[in-house]
Amino acid sequence: MFKNKEVRKLFLIEFIIILLGIITIIILNNYMFNCYRKEIIINNTHIVNELIKKYPEEEDLIISSLINHDITYDESLKILKKYSLEDSSIIDYLGNNNQIKKDLIKINIITITIYLIIIFTIFIIFIKRIYKKIGTLSTYTNEILNNRYNMDIREYEEGDISNLKNDLYKMTIKLKEQNEISLKDKQYLSYTLSDISHQLKTPLTGMYVINEILYDNQIDKSLRKELLIKNKNQLERIEWLVNSLLKMSRIDSQAETLNRKDTKIIDLLNLAISPLKIPIELKEITLSIKCDKSITANIDLEWTKEAILNIIKNACEHTDKGGHIEIICTENPIYTEINIKDNGCGIKKEDIGHIFERFYKGNSSKDSIGIGLNMSKKIIDMQDGEITVSSTLHKGSTFTVRFYKNVI
């Protein structure tokens, strides 16, 4: 409880009030003592005057008795009785003076009233302050419930309420970030579904048309075979698109954990080129690889294979028959670099800044869907690498991939 700054402050205020009360009581008692002292002096003087008037010859004895502080109350009564003054109104002078009692009662009432007012005022101020803070928290939570995160309730004081405000603010920041991520995810899902729908629409439309033609039993066998081959190609295209999108979704959702380890780049290239050997041979493209077997990089072999495969596939698609693709690997203390160069059609200046965007198709993309290079960039970025491209129209393009080393 005493760790709470507000409680400590309240106890401090109460301690100060009690201390002030003790000081006030001491001052009042001193004041009342002086009042009594004054009245006693007046009373004694009155008695002495009366005694001296009656017994002038005993003046010295009377004065001596008055200043004798060792005399007791009973002895005082005996002296008064000796002079026949025990029942005199002179003795009752002090008792009959009620002014001191009235003053004492008045002062006590005033003191108690002041203290009650002070304590009640402090209590009200303290309660109001607490309720004000609670009201601020209530307003703040309502703002959060309405997805408004602009309110700042941070406090740089100690105390449970201040700590609660700061914790709520931290929670708000997290909720705001999660809300923004959720909105981005919804937008991304909307765009992705729209893109998928658009990409699937073209091959599906072609397949519907081909099926309608195939329903005609009178069409030539050679034409039927040609249409079936086209249908097969469209199905393969759809299968590739779906598989690519599934891979992209796994990357985007961060559901895939990369298993990075030191890998020989020559092994990576061999795996990436293997599925492309037939298309390369059909286009009579010359493929040359210059890569020392000792060159390595800390990468996930399977996923990086997908990235490099898509880059080489892109080069193959945009290189004319009889063209040339060259892969050169180098290594230095900072990074490992892979250069994939072709002598194809090149990339236009207006397209080169967009080729890594998903579903982007430049004017020279022909049948490209626009997924491969985007996937390659994401995979490389996930491994703290980078991919860049330089290109000259009608002369070819060079893709440069770098995997940085952990330099201490």
Helix (H, G, I), strand (E, B) or coil at 385: strand
| Structure confidence at residue 96 (pLDDT) | 44
**262-404 has CATH 3.90.650.10 classification:** no
DSSP string, 242-257: HHHHHHHHHHHTT-PP
What angle do helix axes 5-54 and 160-214 make, rounded to 10 degrees?
160
Q: What are the Cα distances from residue 65, in Å, to 36, 83, 276, 377?
A: 20, 13, 134, 116
| Structure confidence at residue 86 (pLDDT) | 53
Spatial CA neighbour of 325 closest among 295, 284, 366: 284
What lies within 8 Å, CB to CB, of 171 at 6+ separation is none
3-state helix, strand, coil in the chain (%, to 5): 65, 10, 25
CATH 1.10.287.130 domain range(s) in the chain: 184-252
For residues 295 and 330, the answer to whether their CB atoms sit within 8 Å is yes
For residues 248 and 374, the answer to whether their CB atoms sit within 8 Å is yes
Phi-psi sector, 2: left (phi>0), alpha (psi -120 to 50), beta: alpha
What percent of the chain clears pLDDT 70, i.e. is strictly above it?
69
Tell me the CA end-to-end span of the chain in Å, nearest whole number: 49
CATH 3.30.565.10 domain range(s) in the chain: 262-404
**395-406 pLDDT, tens digit each:** 999 999 999 987
DSSP assigned state of 258: P
Q: Report the C-alpha gap between 276 and 319 in whole angstroms.
A: 14
Q: Report the C-alpha gap between 369 and 237 in whole angstroms.
A: 10
In this structure, which long-range contacts are made by residues 6-9, counting pairs with CB atoms below 8 Å and at least 24 apart in sequence? 6/126, 6/130, 6/159, 6/160, 6/161
Place of tokens 């002369």: 395
* Residue 50 amino acid letter: E
* Residue 381 amino acid letter: D
Q: What are the Cα distances from residue 153, in Å, to 132, 144, 150, 169, 202?
A: 12, 12, 10, 7, 54
| Structure confidence at residue 89 (pLDDT) | 46
Other CB atoms within 10 Å distance of the CB of residue 3: 9
Place of tokens 């160069």: 341
**Which regions in the chain score pLDDT beneath 50?**
1, 87-97, 408
Pairing of strands 324-331, 385-392: unpaired
For residues 344 and 323, the answer to whether their CB atoms sit within 8 Å is yes
DSSP assigned state of 220: -
CA 393 to mean position of chain CA atoms: 49
Structural element, H or E, at residue 341: strand 335-342
CATH code for 184-252?
1.10.287.130
Helix (H, G, I), strand (E, B) or coil at 88: coil
